[in-house]
């Protein structure tokens, strides 16, 4: 069986495929420490990280929620949730250096440097995954990767805070075409296989987990040629460990979301959480 066929069969049957990422666990740890330091900076600094791509009005980059390192609810950002999120992109460092110039603090430089290393390592692995899918050479790789274009990939740094019950992230499909779960501080990530939860365990430090998001179904048919039987992966995050760190964070994670450069594949909310539309309790008996 060829590598490509094996990759597709695993993705079809197990809903996710381990892929190698050329970066170490110590790099993730350093990036998360830098992320914490960055989120404690004044709002004028954090706000300078927020931007949209000119070609993609729905592509939001920067810090959109704010609680890490802060005891004040007024330090929160745009969304009220149990998570703090930062989206790093190929232009993030450039945008912040342009906006802040000499006023860019050392903490921000540290975070941008560590995040950039992880971002490009994740993109190299994602490109290899798309190449294994695009055996018919229908352009799947080209619409996501172009050395002359502003890339539409989001490296997400996320801090989960306690919420009622044992669920940190409810069952959902990602909005992306492809996702790589790169690193987590604790177990809890699960994927749905044959209508049952399957927890992700014993993953190697230099290994990410690739799966498809709801954006996959929004691609024009020609880009999914030969892969029509592949489906987005339902997943979520449970609170396995009740211990939090000094900032009250229950769990850290680093995730890469990949989207086309120009095509609009962003799904509707009901397409990422279809069970909500019908009032269904997913996995309630498990």
CB 160 within 8 A of CB 154: no
Distances in Å between the alpha carbon of 257 and those of 90, 173, 182? 13, 12, 10
Q: Please compute the mean of the pLDDT values over residues 241-248 and round it to a whole number.
A: 74
160's tokens: 């989960």
Q: What is the pLDDT of residues 78-120, one digit of tens each?
A: 345 678 889 999 999 999 999 999 999 999 999 999 999 999 9
Cα gap 98→102, rounded to integer Å: 9
Q: Positive or negative, the Cα torsion across 259, 171, 211, 29?
A: positive
If DSSP codes are grouped into helix, strand and coil, which group holds residue 113?
helix
Threshold 0.85, pTM exceeds: yes
Q: Which of 20-29, 129-138, 237-246, 258-267 has the lowest mean pLDDT?
A: 237-246
69-108 per-residue burial string, b: 16 or more CB within 10 A, e: under 16: beeeeebebeeeebbbbbbbbbebbebbeebeeeebeebb
Q: Please compute the mean of the pLDDT values over residues 62-67 and round it to a whole number.
A: 71
Count of CB atoms situated within 10 Å of the CB of 43:
12
pLDDT interval class at 199 (50, 70, 90): very high
């Amino acid at each position: 069986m060829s590598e490509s066929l094996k990759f597709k069969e695993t993705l079809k049957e197990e809903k996710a495929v381990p892929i190698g990422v050329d970066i170490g666990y110590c790099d993730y740890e350093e990036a998360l420490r830098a992320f914490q330091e960055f989120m404690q900076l004044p709002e004028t600094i954090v706000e300078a990280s927020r931007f949209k791509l000119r070609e993609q009005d729905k592509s939001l980059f920067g810090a959109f929620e704010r609680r890490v390192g802060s005891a004040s609810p007024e330090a929160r950002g745009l969304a009220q949730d149990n998570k703090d999120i930062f989206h790093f992109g190929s232009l993030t460092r450039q945008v912040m250096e342009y906006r802040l110039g000499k006023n860019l603090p050392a903490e921000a430089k540290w975070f941008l440097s560590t995040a950039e290393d992880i971002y490009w390592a994740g993109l190299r692995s994602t490109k290899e995954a798309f190449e294994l899918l695009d055996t018919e050479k229908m352009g799947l790789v080209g619409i996501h990767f172009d050395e002359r274009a502003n890339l539409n990939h989001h490296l997400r740094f996320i801090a989960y805070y306690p919420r009622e019950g044992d669920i940190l992230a409810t069952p959902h499909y990602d909005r992306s075409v492809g996702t790589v779960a790169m690193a987590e501080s604790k177990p809890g990530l699960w994927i749905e296989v044959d209508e049952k939860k399957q927890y992700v365990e014993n993953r190697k430090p230099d290994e990410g987990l690739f799966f498809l998001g709801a954006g996959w179904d929004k691609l024009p048919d020609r880009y999914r040629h030969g892969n029509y039987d592949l489906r987005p992966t339902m997943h979520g995050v449970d609170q396995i460990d009740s211990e939090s760190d000094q900032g009250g964070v229950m769990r850290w994670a680093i995730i890469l979301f990949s989207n086309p450069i120009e095509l609009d594949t962003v799904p509707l909310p009901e397409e990422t959480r279809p069970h909500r539309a019908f009032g269904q309790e997913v996995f309630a008996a498990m």
